[in-house]
Structure 1
Amino acid sequence: MAEAVATVRQRLRPQRQETRHQIIAGLSFGLWSGLLGVKDEDLWRDCLHRALPLSNGKRKQVAVAVERVRRFRNRLSHHDSAINVDIPFEVRHVLELASYIDDAAAQWLKRCSRVLAVYAERPVTADDTVVVPAKNAWSLYESCRAYVCQAGRGFRPGQRLAFYADREVKREVPAVLHRRDNVEWTDVSASKLRSSTDRFDRKIAAVIDASSAVWADGRYQVFLLTGPGHPDHRQLSRSLPHEGSGRGTAFVQQQRYVSLHSLETATSTADL
């Protein structure tokens, strides 16, 4: 830290800009992210938590949030493709991190940003549905209308999920109502969410309760989904069988993107 500050000051001094604000602005995002590691737990407890007074006070929560924003920022600054990035989801994380510091600042950023207006003008992709492997996920969806996966797992922008289990794509193609990453999967967290006035918080609490036998204590990503009867829900005329057999021939291993139209017109996975 001291070495990084000294380097920035040395660069600013000839320009007569060696002020506190310029020094802070000159430090890399990675430096701040690095200060939130496990080895700096004492630093967090002693003083660093005061920089983010509206967080829950846990270093790990803030570290995950900062690291996600850092990766998103680096992707953009390095001119990597953002075509398959869920921009609204990532922007929400930026605003959430800002709100840990100051709610007014987060609202100011939201008012000033044109990101979502520009995003709304993007070319629309036909692949609006992600098919996920669902050996355990299908039963959870049937009972809770939700999908749970690893925290930080990336997805393209999409409106729907479909489930591949029992060597077929299931008939139900729910719409995504809400997506939340880095959810603490504990009884304590479920209790707090259960008492919230936010309906999504309460729904996530119910998912934690229902899935505790499958998902151990940790942090996970949650999709809350529609069920039959919801106006945005879709149901295929039949499940789509997968004809392949043998190890490694499953229709989807991690996730796969298709269009709702192709699901609705296919007779098997061979048509997708």
Structure 2
Amino acid sequence: MPTFVHALSADRFDTYLKWAGADQTLAERLYTYNVQLSAALYGPLHMLEVVLRNMADAQLAAQHGAAWIDDPAILVTNYQTGAIAKARQTLQKDGKAATRPQIVAELNFGFWASLFGPKSHHLWQSLRPIFQAKGVQRGVIARDLRDLRILRNRVAHYEPIIALPLAQRYASITTLTGWLSPSAATWIAKYSTWPTLYPAVPILVPDPASGDLLVAPAALPFLPA
């Protein structure tokens, strides 16, 4: 009968085992907690991504026309044009109409984040109005979306997230969503399970002697038994 470690693979479990100081029981608790936190982030990340893509699409269509997704003056990077082409191919392969709404829904978070990157700074004047806040800077938006894309991908691929600055990342999710849509932010506040799971203290801290990350004593009471 395969053990829990064999079911996961030793390579996957080894990261947690190191953080747990070779304590297998603690490592299993850490792994479970990582899964629980990832699940709690799914809803807020989902809301941010959907709102971002819908608001950006509507704004670019209003400013530059419904065919903005095929305008070389709008999408200037190979990554962006490649993402559009890949979305079309996927939809056609699945027998779906490659309409703009279908393409918008097919495009990933990385594409939408790229619209705020330095190579797309020409779009900032068009996209700035979707954020309902004063003093918003493109560079800050780009940085936060880059960090959240990494977090989203780690959640989606079942990778460890507990070494990340999760309090900061969650604050970015709620802040950006609130700037885009107060009603969407209200939905997160109402239904998110994150505040009941995350202790707002680091889960992992550097060991004073070795510098290696280990489970923080303050986080232990929050780990599943």
TM-score (normalised: structure 2): 0.49
Between Structure 1 and Structure 2, which shows a larger proportion of strand residues?
A: 1
1 or 2 for the larger relative contact order (CA 8 Å, sep ≥6)? 2
Between Structure 1 and Structure 2, which shows a larger proportion of helix residues?
A: 2
